Structure formats: structure tokens, C-alpha cells
Amino acid sequence: MNGRDVWSLARKTGYFGGMFDVDATYEYFEQPGTFDMHFDRVGTGYVYTPQDIEREGPAAYIKLSGDVIPFGNTQIWIMGNKESGPPYELAYAPLPNGYTRYPFYIQVNAQDLVNQDYNELFFEARTKATNPNVNQYSTMYASDYREQYNSTPAIYGNPFYRDTLFKGGDPVRTISENPLENPKRYWPYTLPINPVLNILNPPTNLSATSSYPYTSVNLTWNDNSNYESGYEIWRKGVDHNWQKIDEVPQNTTSYIDNSVSIFQDYFYKVRAFAHVGNQTIYSDFSDSAWVTTCPLISFGNISLPPSGKAIIYKNNRYHCVYTEDNKVYYTFSQDNGITWTHELIDTGRNPCIEYVDGKIWVFYIKNPPIYYNLKCAIKDGNIWQKYTTNYLGTNISATSYSDTVFLFFEIRDTLHVQYRIIFLKIVPTIPPSFTPIDTFTFSFY
């Protein structure tokens, strides 16, 4: 069978099973006939020598593959040893009751096991008591046979058993001791699992925020590693290269960068590192996070007009208009854009702003569903004087000259695929005077 000595392995099971005492209280089904029983490492294949298992990174799965004939209710277990204490049950395959050849496999996550201080795997076969009213199993054989070997003088005192069949009671194999190629000498076997650390789980969910006065950036992330010595903080500006700016201790999940400048954009990334022996290992970087130290006008779902003027600078202030939830807002800043004061003007959309005759003028469109009327709001102290015109349109663009506002006003009649552009002259009287200068109409068929 693929170069394996199945006959010797099956016979060896008989010798081997004789070392294990069976509970004399009940009768049990016979040990299963065994054609194959070995460990595989998923992604690697058949293994029989000690395995290095990464503590972090992709999981490492060890699979017990077998091919047996059960003669009654049978269980095949993967068992685990720790430095001290009894063996632990890890996973098992219940085999059907009957004289039928039955291939099977069982799988365990070896990475989880080394992180729980397991250091060795072995397999064990158990059969059930023949009395149907008794739900009890007894061990027929186990590949960790150290205790049974050392407690049986007839085995360890016999050179044939000691030197030829059971390797002096040692079930651990070297690369030259292949259990399936030479089962007479080297089957069964245990599989030591040794924890190693060459991979670190990277941090995730990196977030970067900045708030008033916008002279620092707050970072937070998820710590996914149990073995890091600390984290490196990396940063870059627009059109700059990445640079490491700091390190923080293990288990840290936040950082404040006080070395930023206002009105800048920054990108950050973080990675874990660990000192292992005389070397340092690193995780992959987290996804990068962008942040701006430019003050925000609003935290809501705002939009600036698709055309026209949204911001002006007059009297040592920035003045801006925007829409949010179909409402028109005016906001101003008198500290170079660091903080903003907001005022609701009216319901509407697509605003633009001008400064005429010493006052702030805002033009915008009335909300549908009835009409898209042009509206105008003039700031008079703390009050907004609002006026509605009979002009209909969708987009506005304004410019001022001397004491007059010239308005470029676009109407999109999608029903007739028609575009109309109206130029209005607005004289800042109360109420304002709107005079059409010219009209252009474009139709598409």
C-alpha cells in the first residue's frame, strides 16, 4: 500500500496491544484490526517527527488518519500531553459497530494546543463493554506507551521487545525512523509539538482622529497578539515617505501624536514587534488610516453646491454656505477656519454666497416637489431676511461687481431635455430687485 508495510503494522498492533491492561469488571470488544494510523499536517502531509507550531499567524492543523476494522463499538482518540498531569482527550472518531473496514480522520488545531501548553499528541483506541447496558470503554492501545512499557518487565527486560519493537520505551521518532516504512521497529509513535514564534498577529481596525485645536492626532487599534513586545507607529504626509515616529509597550491600543501641524493630511500604520532571542520579529502592518488636521465645518452629511461660490473671505472672517438634509446653512470662522459658528437659513438646496453692500447674500433653490424657485436670504445682524422670486432653476452661480450681483441661473427641464441659462442683475435694495439681462435656451432631440 503505497510503499507501506501494512502487514507488519497490523501484526505490530497485536504485540503492542498486549501491553495494555483491560478492566476486568466487564468484557470488551476486541481491539480494532489496524491497517494504518498516522498523523498528517494539513498542507504538508504525513508527519512523524517533532513539529514546530507557530504561536500566531495561520492556524496549524494536525490530522490523525486511520484505516481500521472495528469488531464492536470503538473510539479512536487524539490525546494530548502537557509537561505534567494526565493525558487530555482532544478529539475522537466514533467508529460503527461491525466487521467493516473503516477509513477515518480526526483533526485538531495545533496552534491552539501549544498556546494551551500541550507539547505532544498521541492516538488511542478504545472499545466498549459488550454488555449493552454498560456504557463504558477501555483502552486497547495507545501510541504513548511509555508507562505500560516501563511497568512491564517482560517487555523492557526482553532485548527483542526492547530493542527491535519498542525502541527502549521511547515513542518519539527521528527523520530516519519512519513508522509507516518500518512499522515493526517504529510504529506506533507520538508527535511532539513545539511552540515557536516567527509570526505575530497584526493589529487591526486602526483609527485616526483629530479635533480642536487640531494640533494632535489620536490613534486607536485592536491588539491581536499575545506575544508582542510593543508596537511601532509609522506616519507619512501627502507625497512623503513612511517614517517610524515612535514605539509603545506591549498591550497598548492607543497613541497620541503631538508632532503634527494644523491644516495637513496624514496617514498612519501600526505593526507589532517582539524580541525573540537575539532577533526582532515584526507583524504585518495594519491597514493605513487617513486623518486631516484641517478643521471640519460640520460633522453631518453635508454637501457643497455643485456649482457656484460656497465660501468667501470678508472682514477677517471666512463665510461659507452648505446644505444638510435639504436645509441651507450659513457658517463663519473668525480664527482662520479652526472653529465655526453655524446658522440655519431655510429649507432648500444648492446655495451660493456673495458679499454686497456690506451684507452677506445667500442665493439658493426652494425644495421641490412644487417648484424650484430661486430664493435669496440677506443677513441683517442676527436676522435673515428671505425673499422668493418667480424664477425657476436648479443651479446657481453668482458674482458681484461694485454694488450689483450678477446671477448665472441654470434650468434643466429633463422632461423636454432642455437647458436654459438666465443672467440676472440684482440690485441690493430691500426687497432686492431682480432684472433679467439675457436668456439662452438649448434643446436636444
Q: State the pLDDT at residue 1.
A: 44
129 is a domain residue: yes
Determine the average pLDDT of the residues in 95-109. Answer: 91
Grade residue 345 by pLDDT with cuts at 50, 70 and 90: very high
Residue 422 shares a structural domain with residue 312: yes
245 and 326, same domain (yes or no):
no
What are the C-alpha distances in Å from 305 to residues 147, 161, 165, 167, 310?
Answer: 83, 91, 87, 84, 7
269 in any annotated domain: yes
Task: Please say if the pLDDT value at position 370 is more than 60.
Answer: no
Query: What local confidence, expressed as pLDDT, does residue 19 receive?
Result: 86
Lowest mean pLDDT among 31-35, 374-378, 392-396, 417-421: 417-421
Clarify whether residues 279 and 378 are in a common domain. no
In a domain, 1, yes or no: no
pLDDT of 418 strictly over 60: no
- 96 & 234 share domain: no
For residues 192 and 340, membership in a common domain is answered with no
pLDDT category, 225, cuts 50, 70, 90?
A: very high
User: Is residue 385 a part of any domain in this protein?
Assistant: yes
Domain finish residue from 168, 196, 224? 196
Residues 192 and 209 both lie in one domain = no
Same domain for 211 and 191, yes or no, is: no
CATH code assigned at 311: 2.120.10.10
Same domain membership, residue 180 and residue 32 = yes
For the stretch 320-338, pLDDT in tens is 999 988 899 999 999 888 8
What are residue 364's phi and psi, to 5 degrees? -155, 175
- pLDDT tens column, 185-199: 999 999 999 999 999
Tell whether the model's pLDDT for residue 444 goes beyond 60: no
Residue of 134, 111, 135, 264 lying closest to 196 (CA atoms) = 111
Residues 14 and 73 both lie in one domain: yes
* Long-range own/partner contacts, residues 245-252 (CB < 8 A, 24 or more apart): 247/273, 251/223, 252/223
- Cα dihedral 308→309→310→311 (10° resolution): 170
User: Same structural domain for residues 192 and 208?
Assistant: no
H or E stretch covering 312: strand 311-314
Question: Averaged over 110-136, what is the pLDDT?
Answer: 96
The C-alpha atoms of residue 283 and residue 272 are separated, in whole angstroms, by: 5
Rounded Cα gap, residues 142 and 148, in angstroms:
10
Residue 316 is part of which domain span? 302-443
**Which residue would you say has higher pLDDT here, 352 or 442?**
352
Beta pairing class for 51-54 and 191-196: parallel
Instruction: Give the CATH number for residue 262.
Output: 2.60.40.10
Same domain, 209 and 187: no
Q: Which three cell numbers stand for residue 428?
A: 441690493
Answer with the residue of higher pLDDT: 416 or 73.
73
- Total domain count for the chain? 3
**Boundary (domain end) residue, out of 292, 313, 334:** 292
Is the separation of the CB atoms in 36 and 4 below 8 Å? Answer: yes
User: How many Cβ atoms are within 10 Å of 338's Cβ, its own excluded?
Assistant: 15
Report if residue 415 sits inside a domain: yes
Mean pLDDT over each residue of the chain, to the nearest integer: 89
275 and 151 fall within a common domain? no
| Within-domain flag for 297 | no
The per-residue pLDDT for range 400-416, each reduced to its tens digit, is: 666 666 766 666 555 55
Side chain identity at residue 252, one-letter code: T
**Residue at 256 is within a domain:** yes
Domain boundary among 266, 292, 318: 292
